[in-house]
Structure 1
């Protein structure tokens, strides 16, 4: 059936007729020039979603030592740090039916692996400068009342979202064929952390330069079927909350140990609040041009205990077995750490060996040896002789 006109009622009645976009470039650049068009939904705290452009033609690598193999049309991000990957296709492009889906999944899988926080931050800031926007204005729009967060911490959160598969995949077309709608609905039902949508963007034109864009969103029905218990952005322990818990729960000796690692991370790396029900804080360090989680300080509540866990699985995945083995060899042999690294070695360094903070507090220089091991890891060195 032919498109019906859209009527504008003012002093009189004006009919706007459906009209094709004049050029491919005009349609391709619409989401970047007008991000409110693909902008729907809410943030985790109920505020309206507002997408902010990270980059046009975002390069997608397929290995750590190669340049971009593909180019995503647009990459956006919201204030929760959730990225939105956008591919734009006109109905005249036959790839809009099925091939574009394979492309998008390729971009998402490789972007999750090869878009580190530093690259995302640099891409966003270069886009701002190219568009003539000040960084203060851009970050103010992106983070709003949360602007006190450092840019580095925000982009590290985006990197974490990508690694966890917490993203949106958005197809924009002037006509969304039935095949693409079916695939979008199917993927939305099957993918727990990733949301998939298609937007059909119809243009209507009237007298003079009057244009109206009418978006229709596909995929929301399948979104409603996803489990209501899913939480895209779980509540994290804040640094002041962790410090208050340490102050109220720990003895002075344990207090010193519990604050040493977060304090070291604040000066040399970064802190990321844990999402468990008990207070916890993860410490991350920049190693070989990527953020690597070294460990987590946790104040368990039932039964009450304080522990430091080392994230050997993440170290091995990001830096390799040799780096994980060198880090294990540099740790102090207290609180069971004499035996646990050996067990980790046999298991391929993939676990979370823990040591009680009381054991670190009881051993002279134990916490200093932990910090030295982390310094050696961050500097790319093995244990000192």
Structure 2
């Protein structure tokens, strides 16, 4: 049976004929710019689902000490903090039948292990900056009364618990993929799987009509409800255990000094990724502001401290963020990234490996002094908000 046109009735009747996407890149760009075509269903409180782009070509590592081994086409998130992984294929790509399923499961399994909330927040804020979209507008769609850190912590917990959506998007979904989607939905209790057939129709000029058809929705709705599983958070004892095993005494001293300072003057919150990590919140101008995250990977050369300038700017303003950046010690590996932040408005996550701090005389003390000055310049409030 041949594909039938759709008709637009205005002054005249216009037939729009089915038209394939010319390239996969065109298809991907369409979804990145218009995620509404993937919005179906509702949030837990009944509000309509609205997906927000975290990143396009999101890197997926396969080990704690490795870089990205794979690249997911799109990562979205909704206001409930549920991540949505999207893979895009045209019908002419033979991988849409089986291979894409193995790819997606690889991405989901490793993303759940190696995507900490801090990385997701960094990716989201960098995507907003690249798209010229203000963080205030973007966060207005998903935060509610939560802070960005609370929201991304929720996303991390959902990933660790396997609470996510997997979406296969193509201009034509083969029967083999539909069968796999239905099977996966029957076996996976926390993860929802969908195949979205997005048909494009073209008319005169720039007129286009996009018609999504959803496969897997019935099987997903039939799942028995189950409560969220709570992911285990890193504790200070977990961090200390890793640090004690390090052979380098200076690195042990630096990591311990940072954690002790946060515990004494602010509060520490553990991450839920597969590797130990903790974020430091400090009281500044009456609010608890996340300032840095210490991540302890399996590879000692990659242990790092990352400064949450997007959150600092969000809570305290650009001038305070700039002043804090200027007060940090001159560590070559960090200074290069701070210079980039000056140009981007202090909205990213500049980081420095711990070995770079230990190699720079006075760097650890300089960071602690900068943190003290940041707090002492504003009104302090003890404890969490």
5+ unaligned residues in a row in structure 1: which ranges?
235-263, 271-282, 293-317, 321-385
Map of 1:219 onto structure 2: 216
5+ unaligned residues in a row in structure 2: which ranges?
231-262, 280-295, 299-385
User: Which structure exhibits the higher relative contact order, with contacts defined as CA atoms closer than 8 Å and separated by 6 or more residues?
Assistant: 2
Deviation at 1:289, TM superposition (A): 6.1
Map of 2:180 onto structure 1: 183
SS of 2:140's partner is: helix
Q: How do residues 77-226 of structure 1 correspond to structure 2 at under 5 angstroms? A: 77-143=77-143, 146=144, 148-226=145-223
Distance 1:62 1:138, change over 3 A: same
TM-score (ref. length: structure 1)? 0.61
Deviation at 1:291, TM superposition (A): 4.5
Distance 2:118 2:90 in 1: 33
Distance 2:192 2:13 in 1: 40
Distance 2:44 2:221 in 1: 16
Deviation at 1:117, TM superposition (A): 0.8
TM-score (ref. length: structure 2)? 0.61
Distance 1:149 1:21, change over 3 A: same
Range 22-31 or range 93-102, more displaced: 22-31
SS of 1:204's partner is: strand
The answer on whether the counterparts of 1:268 and 1:285 sit within 8 Å (CA) in structure 2 is no
Map of 2:12 onto structure 1: 12
Distance 1:99 1:286 in 2: 28
Map of 2:56 onto structure 1: 56
Q: How do residues 352-363 of structure 1 correspond to structure 2 at under 5 angstroms? A: none
- How many residues are treated as equivalent by the alignment? 251
Distance 1:101 1:286 in 2: 24
Write the deviation string for residues 306-351 of structure 1: whole angstroms up to 9, x where unpaired: xxxxxxxxxxxx999xxxxxxxxxxxxxxxxxxxxxxxxxxxxxxx
Moved over 4 A (4+): 231-234, 283-289
Distance 1:118 1:5 in 2: 47
The answer on whether the counterparts of 2:116 and 2:271 sit within 8 Å (CA) in structure 1 is no
Distance 2:16 2:264 in 1: 59
Distance 2:119 2:106 in 1: 19
Distance 1:63 1:266, change over 3 A: farther
Distance 2:272 2:102 in 1: 34
The structure with the larger Rg is 1
